[in-house]
Amino acid sequence: MNQLFVIDKSSPLPIYYQIEESIKRQIEEGELHPHDVLPSEREYAELLEISRMTVRQAINNLVNAGYLYRQKGRGTYVAEKKLEQQLLGLTSFTEEMKARGMMPSSKLLSLELIPANEKIANQLHVTTNTLIYEIIRIRLADNMPMALETAYMSADLLKGLTAEILNHSIYQYVEKHIGLKIGYAKQSFESTIASEVEMASLSIAKHSPILLIQRTTYLEDGRPLEFVKSSYRADRYTFTCTINRH
C-alpha cells in the first residue's frame, strides 16, 4: 500500500503544487519506483479531501515534466528517471558551468552600442541601424578559456547594461531585476575549424576543431532578447540538451 502524504490547505502554496512536490519527493526518495502505479485520481481526491480536478492539475504538470505517464483506462505510472540533464533547460553559460561544478568567469574584450546590421536586426526583430549592444567576451571555466563569444542584445530591453552586470548571470538579471520572463531559445550547432582570431583567443593550435553554437533567446511573449555566437574549444566542451517529441 502506498504511503500517502499530507497537504496543508491553509498554506499559501497552491494545493496542486504541494501535491506535485510530494509526488516528486516520493519518486526521488525511492518510495515510488519506475513503472509503479499511482493511486487513482479519485483516490487522491478522496484521501486528501480535495477535488479531482485539483489532483489532475498536479498530475498533468508532472506528466508534462516527464515524471509520470498515463495509460487510458489503466492508470498513472512513474516514469523511469531522467538523468542529470533534468537540470538543464535553457541555461546561460554562467548557470551551466555552475551546474557542472566549475567556476565560470569572463574576460570582457568589448562592450559597445552599435547600429544593427541586417542579419542582426533580423534576428532581434528591430530595424536596420537600431542601436544594440555588442558584447565580446572570452568565457572561462575554472580559469581555462572555453569559448569566444559575441552577443548582441536589444538595448530597448536592457537599458543601462554595464560590465558589472555582465559578470553575473544575464538571464537571472533579466528575470529578477527587469522582471521579464525568458521563454525559449532557437539554437544551431556547427562544427568548424578554428580561425586566426579563435586560435589566439582560446590559445589553441591550427586546425583545431571548434563547436560553433548560435543562439537566439526569446522572452515568453516571443520578443527576441539576444543573439549569441559562441565558438567553443571542442576538446573541452560538449553540449548536452533534452528534446521533447512534439
Q: Is 246 in the site for DNA (CB under 7 A)?
A: no
Taken in order 61, 67, 72, 76, the sign of the CA dihedral is negative
Q: Residue 157 — φ and ψ, nearest 5°?
A: -75, -30
Dist CA 184 CA 194 (whole Å): 29
Please list every residue from 36 through 55 that binds its own copies, using CB under 8 A: 53
Close Cβ partners of 76 (under 8 Å, ≥ 6 residues apart): 37, 38, 40, 41, 59, 63, 68, 69, 70
Q: Is 26 in the site for DNA (CB under 7 A)?
A: no
Q: Using the rule CB under 7 A, which residue among 21, 43, 134, 175 binds DNA?
A: 43
Which window, 71-79, 94-102, 112-120, 207-215, contacts DNA (CB under 7 A)? 71-79
Dist CA 86 CA 27 (whole Å): 14
Dist CA 152 CA 132 (whole Å): 7
**Residue 72 contact partner, candidates DNA, its own copies, none, CB within 5 to 8 A by sort of partner:** DNA
Which window, 78-86, 112-120, 136-144, 145-153, contacts its own copies (CB under 8 A)? 78-86
Q: Is 176 in the site for its own copies (CB under 8 A)?
A: no
- Please work out the total of residues on this chain that contact DNA, with binding judged by CB under 7 A: 25
Q: Is 230 in the site for DNA (CB under 7 A)?
A: no
Which window, 43-51, 157-165, 169-177, 206-214, contacts DNA (CB under 7 A)? 43-51
